[in-house]
Amino acid sequence: MNAGHRRALDSKEREIAIGLAQLAAIVESSDDAIISKDLKGIVTSWNRGAERIFGYSKEEMIGRPIAILASPGGQDEMSRILEKIARGELIDHFETTRRTKDGRDIHISLTISPIRDSEGLIIGASNISRDITERITAEKERLHQAELFARSNADLQYFVYAASHDLREPLRTIVVYSQLLERQLGSHLDADSSASLTAIAAAAGRMTQLIEGLLEYSTAGELSPSSVEDVDTQLALAAAVANLHSAIHDSKAVITHDFLPSVPGNQLHFVQLFQNFISNALKYRGKNAPSIHLSAKRQRGEWEFSIRDNGQGISPEYHAQIFDLFKRLHGQDHPGSGIGLATCKKIIDQYGGRIWVESQPGKGSTFFFTVPAKS
């Protein structure tokens, strides 16, 4: 072997050594647990991520069976995984549980691939575990909240249904008798009495409107897991705009939007949300023609939607109250029953999201809501 050839080999070996050292540093600094084991399930390497997630040190685990990490009843699953690996199969993002040194059962996402020797024979497996306990706990909490919501909503619906039935009866009597009075008295009615009868009819009409609003509120936002679909919120916005066509046209409003995503949910809910926000922006407009802009940004596991208008704005002391049932600020000047935003809140509660407003009088308002993104 001449000297030149020898030098070339040395530099190649150095390159490999540097590469291996870099790889080792990456493995060591990973937040995930990176473990290797032989085909009997005996641990052959254990990084710092594994120490942090499972609580065992390298010294405690190397040379010992990986089955130490099995959750109660999980031994069979571990044996099946080893059999798969021996057959050369890959395990990709398999979600399961493991028990830590201090006895906690944690949720992990597991990716395992076979390790082969220079002849291609499988001699073990490399195992990457990601701790997903936080995500699973949040999902469980969301399901629990949805169950509680469904139960209290069923109670509310029953109550509103029964109450509205009972309220409509006397209301009908008021309407019928005031019409009868008007007909019986006819030309004998003086201006004051006529105005009183008109006020009675208007109040009865308003009461009917409130009862209908309440019924709508009580049934809003139901989201059973079986009714969840992929909602194109851009299409939902188009439907809301079509429903409000004449009000938008009459007010010369301009509605613009950025990219709006698809999210899991129910199409009608998003139509209802956008319709409520837009019709409010038209109703509580400022001096200029309404200008409304919608956008959405992704933040970790959720989408944050915003609907900005150039309307009258809302004083900060009312920012929380306007989402309460029947709460109105501009009641005298505009028709409405104070149910729209409460309905929006009810829908968003059901999705496990948040809803709020940022606004100053005279400076327009921006309504925000969040909903979970596709996982």
Binding site for ligand ADP (CB under 6 A): 276, 280-281, 283-284, 309, 311-312, 314, 322, 327-330, 336-342, 365
Smallest distance from ligand ADP to CB 50, Å:
53
Residues 6+ apart with CB under 8 A from 164: 211, 214, 215
> By C-beta, is 142 or 363 nearer to ligand ADP?
363
CB–CB of 253/307 below 8 Å? no
Smallest distance from ligand ADP to CB 227, Å:
25
Smallest distance from ligand ADP to CB 356, Å:
12
Smallest distance from ligand ADP to CB 190, Å:
35
> By C-beta, is 4 or 335 nearer to ligand ADP?
335
CA-closest candidate to residue 305, choices 264, 356, 347: 356
Residues 6+ apart with CB under 8 A from 247: 253, 279, 282
> By C-beta, is 233 or 276 nearer to ligand ADP?
276
- Return the DSSP state at 282: H
Other beta carbons within 10 angstroms of residue 280's beta carbon come to 23
Smallest distance from ligand ADP to CB 278, Å:
9
CB–CB of 108/98 below 8 Å? yes
> By C-beta, is 178 or 312 nearer to ligand ADP?
312
Burial class for 355, CB neighbours closer than 10 Å (0-12, 13-18, 19+): buried
Q: In what order do the strands lie in the sheet with 254-257?
A: 254-257, 291-299, 302-308, 365-372, 355-359
Smallest distance from ligand ADP to CB 312, Å:
5
> By C-beta, is 91 or 244 nearer to ligand ADP?
244
> By C-beta, is 125 or 214 nearer to ligand ADP?
214
Range 202-210 contact pairs with CB under 8 angstroms and sequence separation of 24 or more: 204/171, 204/174, 204/175, 204/178, 207/167, 207/171, 208/168, 208/171, 209/337, 210/326, 210/337, 210/339
> By C-beta, is 34 or 314 nearer to ligand ADP?
314
Angle at 336 between CA 334 and CA 338, to 5 degrees: 120
Other beta carbons within 10 angstroms of residue 165's beta carbon come to 11
> By C-beta, is 94 or 368 nearer to ligand ADP?
368
User: Which residue's beta carbon is nearest to the bound ligand ADP?
Assistant: 336
Smallest distance from ligand ADP to CB 305, Å:
15
Smallest distance from ligand ADP to CB 80, Å:
55
